[in-house]
């Protein structure tokens, strides 16, 4: 899903760079306002995990592979703002060090995978949490389904960018059908990996899963015990 | 105690991530991904330009000079994980410091400059 330079014309790519910088800027502001201390190392771990698992392309159909995008995985684990930043960070490292995803297309990729896939996917996750049981399994299922949908949303993001500034004389309808079709398959893999990962963290440290905070009773700190020192 | 457990979790997680990056990445499918495949099928793959940093020592997830393909991919994965985690710790630590300095309920661990 990493767009190379050239697929989308410079005007649309630059507009996407502006949107990406603005969007990630808002995420940083919101993260700085709301994050907990312990989320700093967790977010670093989540970003590293997304980087590693993005390398693990799995076959989806004849001669086609897919890999985790990680938007829902990251936003469910560390919250929407830090999660979207994690994905954007991975995309930055990939473009700068691994020649994966064009440099001028970085904004397009951030918009599709961090903002649409991450923040958009998190909205889908919240909606699913609203209708699924308030249990650990409900959280895992919501994250898996939202992850699958997020990949299709990101692929539609590419299609919209292609419709605005795509090079070549290609039928937009054909590109839409092909993108959504193959990414629905990749989305199944995304859902399985996300569900397994969120499930594993829920099993070990459910208190660390941002998207399941409502399930863990808050530790009573404060008036129950007299403060010591200062 | 909670902080110690948190770091146990993070270090344990990092070991898993490094293991995936080193041992699993050489076995990843090398078929074109969804977007690449669509661009080939629909005939706009030729519009892709070569990456501006295609000559970089880690380009395409390999380490320049390491001939063994699996080892090269695995090492690139480990280096990528290290870069991502390192930059992430700096970035997220900075965000936390911003929060602590101005947040109403943040702990007073941020340096007060006056």
Say which CATH number the domain at A16 has: 1.10.1760.20
CA dist., res. A159 & res. A3, Å (int): 11
* A3 within some domain: no
Tokens for A198, please give them: 């969120």
Both tokens of B71, joined, read 């080892």
Q: Which of A218, A230, A206 is nearest to A76 (CA)?
A: A206
B28 contacts in A (CB within 8 Å)? 55-58, 65, 67
Instruction: Give pLDDT tens digits for A151-178.
Output: 999 999 999 999 999 977 789 999 999 9
User: Is A47 an 8 Å CB contact of chain B?
Assistant: yes
- Domain, as residue range, for A82: 10-213
pLDDT at B105: 52
Cβ–Cβ below 8 Å for A33 and B103: yes
Domain count, chain A: 1
Q: What is the pLDDT of residues A186-197, one digit of tens each?
A: 999 999 999 999
Residues of chain A with pLDDT under 50: 230
In a domain, A4, yes or no: no
Chain A residues with CB inside 8 Å of B34's CB? 1, 60, 64-66, 155, 179, 182-183, 185-186
So what's the pLDDT on residue A223?
56
Q: Is A175 a domain residue?
A: yes
Q: Kindly state the tokens that stand for A49.
A: 């995990």
Question: Does ipTM surpass 0.90 in this model?
Answer: yes
Report the gap between the CA of A131 and the closest CA in chain B (Å): 31
Residue A54 lies in a domain: yes
Nearest CA in chain B to A90: B84
Q: Can you give the residue ranges of every domain in chain B?
A: 1-30+69-107
Chain B residues touching A1 at Cβ < 8 A:
33-35
Give dist(CA B56, CA A203) in Å, integer.
41
Q: Would the pLDDT of B7 be above 60?
A: yes
B positions 33-72 inside 8 Å of A (CB): 33-35, 37-39, 41-44, 47-49, 51-54, 56, 58-61
Mean pLDDT (whole number) for B43-71 = 95
The pairs formed by B105-110 with CB atoms below 8 angstroms and a separation of 24 or more are B107/A37
User: Does A20 fall in a domain?
Assistant: yes
């Amino acid at each position: 899903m990493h767009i190379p330079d050239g697929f989308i014309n410079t005007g649309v790519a630059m507009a996407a760079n502006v949107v990406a910088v603005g969007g990630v800027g808002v995420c940083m502001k919101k993260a700085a306002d709301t994050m907990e201390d312990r989320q700093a190392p967790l977010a670093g771990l989540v970003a590293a995990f997304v980087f590693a698992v993005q390398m693990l392309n799995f076959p989806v159909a004849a001669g086609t592979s897919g890999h985790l995008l990680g938007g829902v995985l990251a936003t469910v684990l560390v919250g929407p703002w830090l999660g979207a930043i994690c994905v954007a960070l991975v995309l930055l490292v990939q473009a700068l060090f691994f020649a994966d995803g064009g440099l001028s297309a970085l904004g397009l990729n951030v918009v599709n995978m961090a903002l649409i896939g991450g923040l958009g996917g998190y909205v889908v996750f919240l909606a699913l949490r609203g209708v699924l049981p308030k249990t650990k399994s409900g959280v895992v299922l919501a994250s898996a389904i939202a992850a699958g949908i997020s990949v299709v949303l990101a692929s539609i993001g590419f299609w919209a960018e292609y419709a605005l500034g795509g090079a070549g004389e290609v039928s937009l309808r054909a590109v839409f059908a092909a993108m959504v079709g193959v990414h629905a398959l990749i989305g199944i893999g995304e859902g399985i990996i996300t569900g397994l990962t969120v499930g594993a963290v829920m099993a070990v440290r459910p208190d660390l899963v941002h998207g399941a905070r409502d399930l863990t009773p808050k530790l009573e700190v404060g008036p129950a015990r007299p403060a010591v020192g200062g | 105690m909670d902080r110690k457990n948190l770091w146990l979790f993070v270090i344990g997680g990092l070991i898993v991530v490094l293991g995936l990056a080193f041992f699993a990445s050489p076995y990843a499918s090398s078929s074109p991904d969804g977007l690449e495949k669509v661009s080939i099928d629909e005939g706009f793959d030729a519009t892709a330009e070569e990456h501006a940093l295609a000559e970089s020592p880690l380009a395409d997830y390999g380490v320049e000079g390491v001939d063994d393909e699996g080892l090269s991919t695995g090492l690139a994965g480990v280096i990528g994980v290290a870069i991502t985690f390192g930059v992430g710790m700096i970035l997220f630590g900075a965000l936390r410091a911003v929060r602590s300095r101005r947040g109403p309920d943040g702990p007073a661990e941020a340096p007060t400059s006056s």
